[in-house]
Amino acid sequence: MTTLPAALRDKVEFAPADLDWLHQLVGDWQLVADLSMADLVLWVRNKNGRLMAMDQCRPSNNPTVHPDDVIGLRMPAVREALALEALASCQVKIAKDSVWNGTVAVKEEFIPVVRGGRAIAVLTRESTVGLLSGGRLIDDGQLQAANRLCQMISQGDFPVSGAGTSVRHGMPRVTDGMICLSVEGNVTYASPNATTCFHRLGIKGSLDKVQLLEQVTNLIPPHSHVDETMSLVLMGRQAWLTELELGGVFLAVRSVPLLDAGQRAGGLLLVRDITELRRREQALLSKDATIREIHHRVKNNLQTVSALLRMQARRAKQPEAQEALREAERRVATIATVHDALSQNIDEIVDFDEVFGQVLRQAALVAESDHKVSVQLEGRFGMVDGDAAQALVTVLAELVTNAVEHGLAKRDGTVTVTAQRDGAALKVLVSDDGEGVAEGKVMSGLGTQIVSTLVRTELHGVIDWSPNPQGGTVVTIHACLED
């Protein structure tokens, strides 16, 4: 639901449909301000019947006549009479005398904002006398388009319902280029920037009086893909945005139908050359595809290494060599799992609970045990930085495997991994109900040495082995993650 500015929430009442209409107008009135080279101020009646400024818009191509914000201010009484007359008559009113604002003389127009045959607000269009911009008078074609849009506002035809006027990347503006069309789709006015845009597309000569759709259609190679909205946009029939591409040149074209008492009276096109924008986007897509291909190759290489270790383990004669190669294979598989998760996340962070769930299942399956062993995960790890995730998953996979292969080698049992996260602080307990670790065996193997080193150097924490009161062993890790 759209809302009023904070300065008006307790002073103005509007039906939801009327308020939504005003917000649609404000969402697209920069077009009117730039065409008019004028400031726009939207005035609404407060509960006392006085007109207050609801919003304002400054032109992007001309100096403003309102350097300070006017939102929430009341309209001076000397101006309010003409504004109320515009509201009552649903007709545009023009002040006879200009107003001196301290630096320039300002011409004022009062435009009723009509919805469903009712005037619900007043829009003032305030411009410097003479409509000077950069030392020149405003172009007649541009001014005529601005006047037509203001007339449409007073007739309830603008904003165009369902036009989707929200700002998009590459949306053309008045300063990028504008074209006015007749009812038949012939060009009646084209700004210099618009002419340049279509010259780059391939149209030769002046655009004056040519039918733009015919000229563009003649340039399209046979059997080319064409946006189905192109014809409606280039004829000015629908308030849509389309994109033209010919010979590596990209133009964004927006159409605004011009109406007179609800009947088509022509069209307004805004055009922008977005060739460089699309080139950069294509370069980014190419880089993204390259990075994805690199990730895919790394994943394949890790799988190849894992397969080679598995093959070598089968050919090894000594049990110690077989065991060492199987452990190396398992560690490579763990690294591959985390890499795969990171390669799908541009933020270089992972949902560790999801990743570790996969590793946990693999660790329980790979570990050798002739007995029934279940593995449980309690608590949540949350989101973890990529570097910390790689170290943490290696540590936990090693501890779970050791618990299955050593603590539960001769009995059924359960391995439980419990996570307790508080910001950057992480506490993890890996417990089993097996035989426990014999005295003097802690830190005696390569696996526990790897675990201790990773906890200390990569996770900035400590690790401790202790007996489980229910039997077995509890390994406690205190780590500090990037929050």
Q: What is the CATH number of the domain that holds 247?
A: 3.30.450.20
State the DSSP string of 34-87: HHHTSEEEEEEE-TTS-EEEEEEE--SSS--S--S--TTPBPPHHHHHHHHHHH
Domain boundary among 110, 126, 155: 155
User: Which domain does 22 fall in, by range?
Assistant: 16-155
On whether the CB atoms of residues 134 and 125 are closer than 8 A, the answer is: no
Q: What's the rounded Cα separation, in Å, for the pair 381 and 95?
A: 68
Pick out the chain residues at pLDDT < 50: 1, 131-136, 165-167
Check residue 163 and give its pLDDT. 61
Residues 6+ apart with CB under 8 A from 60: 30, 33, 34, 173, 174, 175
Type of residue at 423: G
Q: What's the rounded Cα separation, in Å, for the pair 342 and 267?
A: 50
What's the full length of the chain, in residues?
483
Check residue 140 and give its pLDDT. 83
Residues 102 and 184 in one domain: no
State the DSSP string of 351-419: EHHHHHHHHHHHHHHHS--SS-EEEEEEE---EEEHHHHHHHHHHHHHHHHHIIIIITTTS-EEEEEEE
Residues 147 and 200 in one domain: no
Check residue 1 and give its pLDDT. 36
Residues 41 and 81 in one domain: yes
Q: Is residue 454 part of a domain?
A: yes
Helix H or strand E encompassing 480:
strand 473-480
Residues 183 and 134 in one domain: no
Q: What's the rounded Cα separation, in Å, for the pair 294 and 348?
A: 15
Task: For residue 147, give the DSSP letter.
Answer: H
How many domains does the chain divide into?
3
Q: Is residue 293 part of a domain?
A: no
Check residue 167 and give its pLDDT. 47
Q: What's the rounded Cα separation, in Å, for the pair 236 and 213?
A: 10
Check residue 165 and give its pLDDT. 46
Residues 105 and 207 in one domain: no
Q: What's the rounded Cα separation, in Å, for the pair 117 and 124?
A: 19
Q: Is residue 339 part of a domain?
A: no
Q: Is residue 340 part of a domain?
A: no
Residues 150 and 241 in one domain: no
Residues 148 and 47 in one domain: yes
Alpha helices, DSSP H only, in 252-318?
Answer: 275-315
